[in-house]
Amino acid sequence: MSHFDLTKTVLRQGIWHGVLTAQDGTDTPQISVTHEGKGVAEVTLEAEGTEGRWHLSFALPPEAIADGVQTLVITEKTSGALLGHVTLIADEALGDDIRSEMDLLRAELDMLKRAFRRHCRETG
């Protein structure tokens, strides 16, 4: 369970912006954004005026702008908790968003597999 709430504010000129709020008094979180299992560069997290609130932003990687459904997954590194996701759909209108849900499930499954493997290495 995440101790943070992530709220998207805007996606403009290829930069995703959101506000991360701590549910309890906590230190600055370590945020990871991945696309197809690879980390996204230039993720910035800046403290806002209020304690426990940060502005999160990152540039959409060029490889995420492609035909079909692409999903970027936003997680908290320490706990591995899923904070949110960004789904991009290009080239064709999607009558039903089941494909984006399937892509998100695949991304979450990949995240769980990595966490499980890391856990097995640490305890083994």
* 31: Cα separation from own chain's centroid: 8
* 55: Cα separation from own chain's centroid: 14
Query: What average pLDDT does the segment 63-88 reach?
Result: 91
Question: Which residues of 1-103 form beta strands (DSSP E)?
Answer: 4-12, 15-22, 31-35, 38-39, 44-47, 53-59, 68-76, 82-90
Whether residue 100 has pLDDT greater than 90: no
CA distance 2 to 38: 22
Our count of domains for the chain comes to: 1
Whether residue 91 has pLDDT greater than 90: no
Query: What average pLDDT does the segment 72-81 reach?
Result: 91
Structural domain boundaries, residue 100: 4-123
Backbone conformation region of residue 63, classed left if phi is above 0, alpha if psi is from -120 to 50, else beta: alpha
CATH number at 69 reads 2.60.40
User: Model confidence over 14-44: pLDDT tens digits?
Assistant: 999 999 998 886 788 999 999 998 999 989 9
Q: Residue 3: pLDDT band by 50, 70, 90 thresholds?
A: confident
